[in-house]
Amino acid sequence: MKFAVIVFPGSNCDMDLYYAVSKGIGQEADLVSYKEESLDGYDGILIPGGFSYGDYLRSGAIASHAPIIKEVIRLANEGKPVLGICNGFQILTEIGLLPGTLTNNRQNCFICKQVELVVENNKTIFTNKYNLNEKIIIPIAHGEGRYYCDEATLRELNENNQVIFRYGQNINGSVEEIAGITNKQGNVLGMMPHPERAIESILGSDDGLKLFKSMLETQKNGVHI
Amino acid sequence: MILVKIYVTLKDSVVDVQGEAIKDATHTMGYPNVSEVRMGKYFELKFDDNAEHLEQDVDEICDGLLANPNIESYRYEIAEEA
Amino acid sequence: MILVKIYVTLKDSVVDVQGEAIKDATHTMGYPNVSEVRMGKYFELKFDDNAEHLEQDVDEICDGLLANPNIESYRYEIAEEA
Amino acid sequence: MSEPTPAQIKKEKIYQTWGLSDSEYKLISEKILGRLPNYTETGLYSVMWSEHCSYKNSKKVLRKLPNDSSRVLAGPGEDAGIIDIGDNQAVVFKAESHNHPSAVEPYQGAATGVGGIIRDIFSMGATPIALLDSLKFGPIDNDQTKHLVKEVVAGIGGYGNCIGIPTIGGEITFEKCYEKNPLVNAMCIGLLDNTQFKHGQASGNNNLIVYVGSTTGRDGIHGATFASDEFSNKKKKQRSAVQVGNPFIEKLLMDACVEIIQEHSDWILGVQDMGAAGLVSSTAEMASKAQSGLMLNLDNVPQREADMSAYEMMLSESQERMVLCIKPEFEDAVLDFFEAYNLDAVIIGKVTSDKQYKIYHQNKLVVDIPIDSLTEDVPEYDHHGIKPARFENDDTQFEPELESFKESWMNILKSPSIASKSYLYETYDSQVKSNTVVRPGSDAGVVRIRGTKKAIAATNDSNSRYVYVDPYIGGQITVLEAARNIVASGGIPVGITDCLNYGNPEDPEIFWELDQSVQGIADVCNKFDVPVISGNVSLYNEFNKEAIYPSPMIGMVGLIEDISHITTSSFKNSGDLIYLLGSTGNDFNGSEIQEQQLGTVQGKLNEIDLDVELNNQQLILKAIKNNLLKSCHDLSDGGLVAAISESAFENMLGFNIQTSLTAKQMFSETQSRYLVTIESKDKKSLEKIFKDNFECLGFVTNDSVFSIHTSDNEMDIELSEALSNWKEAIPCLMK
Ligand SMILES: Nc1ncnc2c1ncn2[C@@H]1O[C@H](COP(=O)(O)OP(=O)(O)O)[C@@H](O)[C@H]1O
Ligand SMILES: [Mg+2]
């Protein structure tokens, strides 16, 4: 499976994602510049964390105008898996592939720590290797990670099983402890926690590995939804 | 040169954590009569005079970049400049 | 109820790192006639009517909290409200 | 407004307001130039001859510090020092203080401190892999200090998180003497995969000088002299010197500089960051080191503000700017290279062979001086030290009162300097890059080196109370404490960087403290063969004539040869045996409990036996290499009370101990001690290594109770109560 890791000016978890794919699940990954205009030939798109354009103005806002974005949207619409982590999630909401918005943490500051997540839906292309309601340890590292959406959207997310991960404890003020959601079709996942930082037990947890393995599994054997 | 002043504010339905924190701080500072604080963004954009569809451009810049329509609204004023 | 609108802007001599990044983004979006962007903060504070030294209070809140006097300046408008 | 003429500068002694003394001015005009320097030239001398740039007051003392070992590839003199770690790899590190800027504008002061130290590392071609920070504030009992703490921490996180370098450790302490003079020291470590590093040199006639990065504005003008000046109420107006950091641009600069140095070393002769005293210090140092001259045309310098004078441009401390010296045939290649990173790069001058510094502005020659005179001709001052009066009558040994053993125990845990700092350091990204094996919260931070079995351990340590009580022994303790943190993590100390934070060195008592403490540091470094490869001096940390405690900060780096040696301070399993290595005496002078009970620290310190210290370090490393230790924690502030509690907290374990020590001795801070745990099956093997000089205290439990039996007392403490005292102290104070 061949992944594109999109690199914006200011992305800083691009290499972490690159290693998660290449070392973690032994697949091919390319770092693809925000300036590129084609994503032909990729089976999956990964949008890394970091501070694209310094997160100036609003996290993800400026990156959503980069040339590559058109292609990200095209592949998403074709049903290819698109995973946005942290700043990647913020970008996916800014470009409208995912509903809602990530705003300042309730504490009004950046938080970096290991947190517990609950797998709310294991019938997705990203989570089929997890058990339903499995508790996993994944680090967070963000200042603007409080998920917000209006009531109607929230209802829809719940009805369609689009909430994929919730925090074990409400760590940042997100509505209904939401940590990660997919689009309606289920092929675009955005999450604030960093599974790519949790693929080796020496670094504190390898619970993130199954997420990448799930994507691979889907590619090989299709989704069992 | 044309100066455009843009105000971006959170929609009323969205909680403003920063505003709340600031309100609390004003109380600690000894101003209990501050009953609400909302925090927004303020921009000054300068355009070269030859801007043809100025209002349209400003709307597009606000919708597409300066404000997040999920949670924010905006308004602006246009002023000529020397 | 009294509404006070406060505008906090970076002093001219201070580099506006956000404004620069936003300006570049407007160019990428196809608005090359944007020649300068400055980003500031906008606050709306509501005071209970019984505010006695309103202007003094607002100045103190701005100096001590809303604006960082090292790099920012502020101005405000006071409006009555229903 | 026109500039003062040279004659006016002399007559009105304008140079004095910039920090030049009469005799220095005389030296410049009579000996060096043979004429009166003009306005711009006077400005250049005043910044380059400031303490911050020239070390004129501290050079003599700094020479005491050893800076060589078999591993040193570069020592002081470069942007940062370099230590060989084998396999053709090296680590590059340095610490820098940003005390005054942070006092004035805490967020930006701290942020630009981090930005500056990162530039020092990547200008060597090294990829930054870790950050640390050492912070000192007044007691958190007023809004001003809370604001300072909050903003400084936010500034450090704001910069480091954004640029994407993990902050893996540091320290935060609170002491009255820092109330008006907070200390903000930041350290960066970089990795060089190729030890062919670049010197920051501008050599070779007609080679070009390239400016790259942010535009130049009027920010931070005279920041360098400002940093070398005492602080007082009167100086509030210096607020105009605020610089604003842009970590986003710095990330681009960092990636570009590392790439150009690593991949295109044939294009370039030197790279240097523009730090304190911006353009003048970077270019003059580069040329002077290469024995060349330099011609600059300021009209090419990218300017953010209109009508900047030559003086302003040369002295501006606008952030995120670098200078390179390149070969002319690669001009286009270099400019295109930076263009691809969206960075502005321009040619601003060239290298000449006449050793003159010639600067043109608006087609006029505005500076024409021997370039060496800025860096080499600075007078060096030999201050005289006098032992301060407080060292009279100091023969007493303090004895703590333990009215309630339990209350005293809790007071240690909630003392702000000992209590958990997680509320603050959790706002730093400690994991970005996915190499951090040990995050803040243990003894040293540890990052592994991908693709090898190696890891790097690092710590920031200072103990200004001990230095205040006895500068010489305190200086020793500072290094020893750092070394113990490295060793307890499984590393071998390989090098040191320092920030020497003191008051006004022209005060003989302060100079004595500086001189003595550096001697203490030097003696330990020599004994342990750990070189000081870089560092920074911050003097004049005074407010209205009240000086801070003498506060040398040691940033130590250790090499962990195999990641399997990485050890942390937390207890792992119930049933594990707890050992104390090293003997405990009655060492209460300068201790946390003395401070708590007397409200100050005082008295004589017992001499430290460096052989015992070294021996204990080796025993710990041996036990680690034999895979015996489940946890290892050094004893420092708060003695055994603090250490054993901290070890229990992370995994929420209890313990049951029975010791020959008295209850009071639980609070003693005798040096050279470690607390370790092992599986019970390893008892014999451990005791064989430790030989004597140890005590088996008891065992780890999972019953959530600390059960303590001393020779003269016993008690039980609920884990939850101890934990909340330790964990909640800082968040409570910050509310
Ligand atoms: N400013 C800081 N930044 C990052 N980590 C910090 C900071 N202050 C304290 N820490 C972390 O908290 C832990 C305890 O610090 P400290 O009590 O100073 O340790 P020690 O006494 O072992 O030197 C260490 O892991 C240290 O790295
Ligand atoms: Mg320690």
pLDDT digits (tens, 9 = 90+) for D444-465: 999 999 999 999 999 999 999 9
Question: Which candidate, A9, A171, A158, A164, places its Cα nearest to that of A87?
Answer: A9
Contact residues on chain A for D436, CB-CB shorter than 8 A = 203
Q: How far is the CA of D439 from the centre of ligand 1 (A)?
A: 10
* b/e D569-591 (16+ beta carbons within 10 angstroms → b): bbbbeeebbbbbbbebebbbbbb
Domain residue ranges in chain C: 2-80
Rounded Cα gap, residues D309 and D322, in angstroms = 20
The one-letter code for the residue type at D381 is Y
A118 Cβ contact list (under 8 Å, min separation 6): A133, A134, A135, A136, A165, A166, A167, A168
The helix (run of H) or strand (run of E) holding residue D374 is: helix D372-375
What is the structure's pLDDT at D234?
45
Q: Which residues surround ligand 2, an ion (CB under 5 A)?
A: D 443, 485, 634
Q: Is residue D240 scored above 60 in pLDDT?
A: no
Q: Is residue D194 scored above 80 in pLDDT?
A: no
Judge if the beta carbon of residue D440 lies within 6 A of ligand 1. yes
**How, if at all, do strands A135-142 and A111-119 pair?**
antiparallel
Judge if the beta carbon of residue D94 lies within 6 A of ligand 1. no
- C17 closest CB neighbour out of D105, D107, D244: D244
Token pair belonging to D76: 């002081």
Contact residues on chain B for A143, CB-CB shorter than 8 A = none
Q: How far is the CA of D527 from the centre of ligand 1 (A)?
A: 26
Quick check: helix, strand or coil at residue D609?
coil
Asked if A143 reaches chain D (Cβ–Cβ under 8 Å), the answer is: yes
DSSP string, D164-220: T--EEEEEEEE-GGGSSS-EEEEEEEEEESSS-PPP----STTPEEEEEESPB-STT
The helix (run of H) or strand (run of E) holding residue C42 is: strand C34-47
Judge if the beta carbon of residue D592 lies within 6 A of ligand 1. no
Maximum Cα–Cα distance for chain A, whole Å? 43
Q: At what angle do helices D247-263 and D331-340 cross, to 10 degrees?
A: 140
Q: What are phi and psi of D229, to 5 degrees?
A: -110, 150
**Domain A2-221 maps to which CATH number in 2.170.120.12, 3.90.700.10, 3.40.50.880, 2.40.110.20?**
3.40.50.880
Q: Which long-range contacts (CB under 8 A, 24 or more apart) does C62-70 make?
A: C62/C6, C62/C8, C64/B29, C65/B22, C65/B25, C65/B26, C65/B29, C66/B22, C66/C6, C66/C8, C66/C41, C67/C8, C68/D105, C68/D107, C69/D239, C70/D104, C70/D105, C70/D108, C70/D239, C70/D242
* b/e B39-69 (16+ beta carbons within 10 angstroms → b): bbbbbbbbbeeebeeeeebbeebbebbbbbe
The residue of D114, D162, D734 whose CB has the most chain A CBs within 10 angstroms, and thus the best one to mutate to test that interface, is D162
CA angle B28-B29-B33, nearest 5°? 85
Q: Is residue D666 scored above 70 in pLDDT?
A: yes
- C17 closest CB neighbour out of A54, A61, A62: A54
Average pLDDT rounded to a whole number, residues D511-524:
97
Asked if D64 reaches chain A (Cβ–Cβ under 8 Å), the answer is: no
- Residue that wins the pLDDT comparison between D434 and D390: D434
Question: Which candidate, D300, D270, D298, D274, places its Cα nearest to that of D286?
Answer: D270
Question: Do D37 and D28 form a contact (C-beta atoms < 8 A)?
Answer: yes
pLDDT band, residue D235 (cuts 50/70/90): very low
Quick check: A56 and C17 CB within 8 A? Answer: yes
The helix (run of H) or strand (run of E) holding residue D521 is: helix D508-528
Q: Is residue D241 scored above 70 in pLDDT?
A: no
Judge if the beta carbon of residue D461 lies within 6 A of ligand 1. yes
Category of A174 on φ-ψ map: left (φ > 0), alpha (ψ -120 to 50) or beta:
beta
Q: Is residue D558 scored above 90 in pLDDT?
A: yes
- Tell me how long chain B is: 82
What CATH fold (topology level) applies to the domain B2-80?
Mth169; Chain: A , (3.30.1280)
Quick check: B65 and A106 CB within 8 A? Answer: no
Q: Give the pLDDT confidence of C33-52 residue by residue, as tens digits.
A: 999 999 999 999 999 877 67
Asked if D390 reaches chain C (Cβ–Cβ under 8 Å), the answer is: no
Q: Give the pLDDT confidence of D335-362 residue by residue, as tens digits.
A: 999 999 999 999 999 999 889 999 999 9
**How, if at all, do strands C2-10 and C72-80 pair?**
antiparallel
Q: How far is the CA of D278 from the centre of ligand 1 (A)?
A: 32
- Residue that wins the pLDDT comparison between B50 and A171: A171
The one-letter code for the residue type at D455 is A
Asked if D720 reaches chain A (Cβ–Cβ under 8 Å), the answer is: no
**Which residues, given as ranges, of chain C have pLDDT below 70?**
51, 81-82
What is the structure's pLDDT at D162?
97
Asked if B44 reaches chain A (Cβ–Cβ under 8 Å), the answer is: no
Q: Is residue D228 scored above 90 in pLDDT?
A: no
Judge if the beta carbon of residue D169 lies within 6 A of ligand 1. yes
What is the structure's pLDDT at D69?
87
Q: Is residue D712 scored above 90 in pLDDT?
A: yes
User: CA separation (Å) from A144 to A50, D302, D491?
Assistant: 12, 34, 36
Q: Tell me, yes or no, if A134 is annotated catalytic.
A: no
Quick check: C13 and D240 CB within 8 A? Answer: yes
Q: Give the pLDDT confidence of D289-301 residue by residue, as tens digits.
A: 888 899 999 999 9
pLDDT band, residue D237 (cuts 50/70/90): very low
What is the structure's pLDDT at D394?
66
What is the structure's pLDDT at D236?
42
Question: Do B65 and A61 form a contact (C-beta atoms < 8 A)?
Answer: yes
Q: Give the pLDDT confidence of D416-426 residue by residue, as tens digits.
A: 999 999 999 99
* Active-site annotation holder among A86, A94, A144, A149: A86
Question: Do A42 and A75 form a contact (C-beta atoms < 8 A)?
Answer: yes
Q: What are phi and psi of D411, to 5 degrees?
A: -60, -35
Question: Do D532 and D525 form a contact (C-beta atoms < 8 A)?
Answer: yes
**How, if at all, do strands D167-174 and D127-137 pair?**
parallel
What is the structure's pLDDT at B48?
87
Token pair belonging to D619: 């025993």
Block mean pLDDT (10 aa), chain A, length 225: 97 97 96 96 97 95 95 97 98 97 93 97 96 98 96 96 97 96 97 97 96 93 63
Quick check: helix, strand or coil at residue D7?
helix
For residue D391, the 8-state DSSP code is G
pLDDT band, residue D285 (cuts 50/70/90): confident
